[in-house]
Every structure is written in C-alpha cells, then in structure tokens.
Amino acid sequence: MKTPDIRLEASKEIDIRFSEVDSMNFVWHGAYALYFEDGREAFGAKYGLGYLDIFSNGYYAPLVDLKFSYKKPLMYGAKARVDIVYRDTEAAKILFDYRIVDLCDGALVATGSSVQVFLDKDYRLVWGNPPFYETWKQKMGLL
C-alpha cells in the first residue's frame, strides 16, 4: 500500500555562468533545461535512481515532456538553487516537479515538470514498471 506522506526531494545549487546568459544579461531560457537536468542528477545520486542506475538495469529513461514557467529572470553571477520533487504514479513513468529559487533574495525564478518513460535496450517502449523500478519504489516506501 502506498504511503502518501513520503516526499522524495533533492536540491542543487547553481552558479550562473557567463555562457548561460543572453545579450540582456538574463539567463537564456534554454539553460533552464540544464538546471532541471542538474536537479535530476542530484536526485539520482541521492536516491539511487540515476541514469547509470537505470541503464545498468537494462533500460533507458528519455524525457518525453518538459515544461517551464518563468517567474523572474536570473542574471550573470547570481546563485540559484533547483529543488526537485519526485511525483509518484502507478504508470511506467518517472515524474518530477521543479522549483528554481534565486539565493540572493529567495524569489521564485521558475517552476516546471518533466516526464520520463522507460525504453528497453532495443528502444521499445516499456508499458509496465520495470522490475528494478518496482524494487526501488518498495525500498523508498512508495509501495
């Protein structure tokens, strides 16, 4: 039985680099995809659900949906934090929600979400949760 009060989350601090800003000195909108990726890597390292963990179990987990909502621009030299929260589902998917916060003033910079599905090593879509993912969910107390 699922325990609804379990919250799996991770955070990663980000230093805004010159290569990430546009001519207005704002972080280019495409860089936020990389910040969300940094969050997924931090989550994977913390909870044992990283890309190499998935791959070593015979699967890929490509992104099929990625959404952003921008609230406030980040500027070159700023420090920010991406927070990522796992959203449990019975479907054979990995769902995450994101928040990026400006560490200078605590303001919310962006929110978003992502969906990843499972492919086998022959790049075929997997409709049921892979056994390693079911085991991971049990270990995390989600089942």
Mind telling me the catalytic residues? 22
Sorted by sequence, the CB contacts under 8 Å of residue 64 that are 6+ apart come out as 115, 116, 117
Q: Which is it for the CA torsion 128, 130, 134, 136, positive or negative? A: negative
Q: How many whole angstroms separate alpha carbon 116 and alpha carbon 32?
A: 17
To which residue do tokens 């990625």 refer?
66
| Separation of alpha carbons 82 and 84, rounded Å | 7
Helix (H) or strand (E) holding 45: helix 31-47
Amino acid type, 85:
V
